[in-house]
Structure 1
Amino acid sequence: MSAPTGTAITALVWAPDWPEEMLRIAAEFSKLNPDIHVNVQFMIGNSVEENIKPRIATGNLPDLVSINPNAYGADLADQGLLADVSKTSAWKNMLDPLKKDWTSRQSRHFGIAGGMATTAIYYNQEMFAKAGIKTLPTNFNEFLAVCEQLKRAGYTPIMWNGGFPNMLGNGPFSSGFANNVVAREPDWKNKISDGTLDLNTPQVAEIFARIRLVPERGFVQKSFMATGYDDGVRLFKEGKVAMAFHGSWAAGLLLHGNPFEVGVFMPPWNSPGEQVVPVVGSETGFAVSETPNKAAAMRFLEFIAGPGFSILQTKRQNIPPFKQFPGTVVSDQKMVDYTNAVSRYAVTGSPYYSVLPSNSIERLHRLIQDVLFGKITPRQAAKLLDESVKNEAKMHYK
């Protein structure tokens, strides 16, 4: 694809833990493509969607944009706002199981994954050993017992991101949804879309109850409701908490540069006697908007998913979403082994941002915080989430 000489494109990117790498990717691209200048802007707040909506409302969608593989992203593609990327080599190179995440109802292929996303509990092996923990928990009751053992040994068991509810969404909510909803309803995805999935249930209330129970038992850091994304990572790296419930996207940050060894285990959000359901899917990725600069933006997308990918991968060390890639791609072996193990499960859940409609994602953030502040009960939260998801289905996806 050719772009006109001297094109300036805007890229609006979600990069909470790798802004410098994104700037480097843009600089390297412009060196190789002197006819295209990339103006990188960074998303702020708690979600990709809350950054995109005002741009759409004002007819000001950037040329390249971070996007989630959910009904909202698919809907933008079907409305003709996002370009179809199926002719790119990035799409052809993407792992086949991820492609369905990025295919809309009208079969438009609207984005390229930023990685394979899974969640894990990262743990400080030294603290576990000193607390006398010899076996990792395999269900939620055992997890609470491990937290109790760590607390008795004088450690803060786990970091809770109350000030960045997006991480509580990715962590305990996604795992709760996988174990309490996906495990019981194979057709959950279609039922969310058509508004027939009942989320006003004791099982969904239990998801919120568990998010609240962990701090209620005194297992989290002080002032956890003010803990943001970076603060939470820092608490774990500085040895102030024994565990972090986090994503594969933070593997580079959490596994390295610590004065202690770090291990990972599958979030045991299953009840005793039930098979655990892990969470695995596509990370937030990149889309090209239907703007006059589409050709130039497609070239930039190809670069991000091609030669530029090793720049962000060296920092993040997550799981690449591609069949093959140029240059050296660093992935931590612990995360490779973990993701391979997770991928072998017959039943898996998806990250919450690819489960819920966009307005319900923002609603969920507030519901989690309201439950943690004691403003509403877990049962009320389940009812309100159910109403939000059904309302979205009524408005958009019938």
Structure 2
Amino acid sequence: MSIYRSLPLLALLLLLTTGCDSEKTAEPDSGGQVTVRYMHMGVAADDGDNNPYVTRQFPDAVAEHFPDIALKSEMLPEDPYTKTLLVQLSSGEGPDFFEWWPMRQLEELVAAGYLQDLTGMDILNRFTPDALEGYTINGKVYGMPKGLSIMATWYNKELFEQHDIDAFPSDWPSFLAACEKLKQAGVTPIVMPDEDRWFIQFGLYQLAASIVYAADPDFDKKLLAGERAFANSPWREVLLMYKSLYDRGYIAPGSLDIGAEKAAALFNDGKAAMMFNGNWDYARLTANPASRGAGSAGGLKSNGGANDFQRGFMPLPGNEPGQPLLLSIGPAGGTVINANTRHLSEVLDILAYQFDPDSPLYGLYKQNYDVFPMYKGEDLGIPEFQDYTALSKTHDSVYFSNQAWPVGVADALCRGFQDWIAGHGTVDDILAAMDERLEALRD
């Protein structure tokens, strides 16, 4: 997945590891091979493997091309991945290279001295300057991105047409009207996997693009400078608007018991008209529907069972009619190298091979990550993205909010919203928790 989920508190993890033996204990190599470790997030909450490239294709291709290198590939679910990785890095260990998030989240690892400086290396010639921007800190480059990530609304075009919704709504009132029309027709408008709390961000940041940043593009800079707070800001409106989708019955009931795989299956089976997600989940949300044993969740009604249908991908509009609609587009997650790796030359050889357009490994890589454009407005040749690509050429965009926040703030947001869905707490409790976490992490 994505890669644009909330992260645990780095400072807390550093405290937990204080006093740990920081002397490196190298993993012994065997059979004359150098063992190189690679870590990647992305195992779904229900333990389903959603990235065969990482678990099988990548290691096998490296073994075939580099007989002296054994690539040990590891995958963990989002929360364990981050916690495990930060603990290892703080003790001077960790994988030789791994996946990480851009911008502020990258900045914290750079400040801690955990990442290899790649500035000036030939491998960076594979990327456009725009793509590298999210991995550039103080003029130095620390990572290799997949491209751009996009948050949007996946929707069932045929269900929309069947209920006389001619086009995807372009403002908030028309979006609510479309949801109400679907609901009155017995169709579940939206399914969300709130059991996996980071998915809560995928709707919120789309709304925030138009509500928070259209009027104040420097909002996050002011937050970090202590000039603004979440409380008494447009973020209150964002949270209330998103919660109204639950209160009106537009999001499937029982969402706290629905995980990512189940939500995708319900969408693919035509049992819900929409799901807030991103381009990174293309494979899962365009899979040919079949009987998956997903059953019913929260009283979802079947709309014809396992039918194939045309899918659309468009922004959730937070704007009022006539006001600007901003898109939610940010740098995608990418590959970084451990500053303490003992195998820098081997890692660079592996990555150079992966990004060589003439290598079979590059072909496998692009098959898995071809949904990430390298620049805004790039036509990927993917039908589901064509309307969004056209829109991005005429509309401004905003990075994902958590990409500018210190690690831990988005986690407070998602946990608080989960509690709110469950009937505990208020919107102001969430904002206060975010401000409290921000204050603790600002410096």
Bin for the TM-score computed over the shorter chain: 0.7 to 0.9
Summarize the Cα distance change of 1:356–1:49 in structure 2 as closer, same or farther, 3 Å threshold.
farther
Say whether the 8 Å CA contact 1:288–1:298 is kept in structure 2.
no
Q: Does 1:13 align with 2:40?
A: yes
SS class of match (2:74): strand
1:133 equivalent in structure 2: 165
The answer to whether structure 1 residue 219 and structure 2 residue 272 are counterparts is: no
Within the candidate set 276, 280, 286, 2:325 is matched to 276
Aligned AA for 1:296?
A: E
Q: Which entry has the higher C-alpha Rg, 1 or 2?
A: 2
Q: Distance in 2 between matches of 1:147 and 1:176?
A: 16
TM-score, normalised with respect to structure 1: 0.88
Shift of 1:51: 4.3
Q: 1:313 and 2:345 equivalent?
A: no
Quote the RMSD (CA, aligned, Å).
Answer: 2.5
* Secondary structure of the structure 1 residue equivalent to 2:335: strand
Query: Offset of 1:130 from its aligned partner?
Result: 1.7
Whether the 8 Å CA contact 1:128–1:242 is kept in 2: the answer is: yes
Q: CA deviation at 1:289?
A: 0.5
- Which deviates the most, 333-342 or 60-69? 333-342
| More helix per residue | 1
Length, aligned pairs only:
383
Q: Give, in whole Å, the separation in 1 of the partners of 2:387 and 2:362.
A: 21
Q: CA deviation at 1:189?
A: 4.2
Q: CA deviation at 1:256?
A: 4.9
Further displaced range: 156-165 or 132-141: 132-141
Secondary structure at the aligned position of 2:158 is classed as: helix
Query: 1:162 aligns to what?
Result: 194
Query: 3-state DSSP class of the match of 1:182?
Result: coil
Contact 1:161 1:167 survives alignment (8 Å): yes
Partner of 2:132: 99
The Cα shift of 1:336 comes to 5.0
Counterpart for residue 148 of structure 2: 116
**Alpha-carbon shift at residue 195 of structure 1 (Å):** 3.6
User: Does the C-alpha gap of structure 1 residues 141 and 256 become closer, same or farther in structure 2, counting only changes over 3 Å?
Assistant: same
Identity, in percent, stands at 21
Distance in 2 (alpha carbons) for counterparts of 1:344 and 1:98: 20
Q: CA deviation at 1:196?
A: 3.0
Deviation at 1:48, TM superposition (A): 5.7
State the match for 1:326 in structure 2. none
Cα separation, 1, equivalents of 2:81 and 2:334: 10
The Cα of 1:315 is off from its aligned counterpart by 4.0
Counterpart in the other structure of 2:18 = none
Q: Is the 8 A contact 2:416 2:429 kept in 1?
A: no
Cα shift at 1:139: 1.2
Q: CA deviation at 1:319?
A: 2.3
Q: TM-score, normalised by structure 2?
A: 0.79
Per-residue deviation, 1:155: 0.8
Contact 1:63–1:297 at 8 Å: present in 2 too? yes
User: Unaligned 5+ residue runs, structure 2?
Assistant: 1-28, 44-48, 290-307
Shift of 1:163: 0.8
Determine helix, strand or coil for the equivalent of 1:159. Answer: coil
Amino acid at match of 2:60: A
User: Where does the alignment leave 5 or more consecutive residues of structure 1 unmatched?
Assistant: 324-328
User: Do the aligned partners of residues 304 and 202 (structure 1) sit closer, same or farther apart at CA in structure 2, a change above 3 Å counting?
Assistant: same
Which residue of structure 2 aligns with residue 289 of structure 1?
Answer: 338
Q: Residues 329 and 398 of structure 2 are in contact (CA less than 8 Å); yes or no, is this contact kept in structure 1?
A: yes
1:207 deviation in Å? 1.9
Provide closer, same or farther for how the CA distance between residues 274 and 219 of structure 1 changes in structure 2, counting only shifts above 3 A. Answer: same
Worse overlay, 228-237 or 335-344: 335-344
1:232 is matched with 263
Secondary structure, aligned partner of 1:158: coil
2:170 match: secondary structure: coil
Letter of the structure 2 residue corresponding to residue 178 of structure 1: A
Tell me which amino acid in the other structure corresponds to 1:79: A
1:86 counterpart residue number: 119
Return the offset for 1:187: 2.2
Counterpart-to-counterpart distance in 2, 1:315 and 1:377: 40
Counting only pairs closer than 5 Å after superposition, residues 17-28 of structure 1 correspond to structure 2 as 18-22=50-54, 23-28=56-61
CA distance in 1, matches of 2:191, 2:347: 38
1:62 CA drift (Å): 1.1
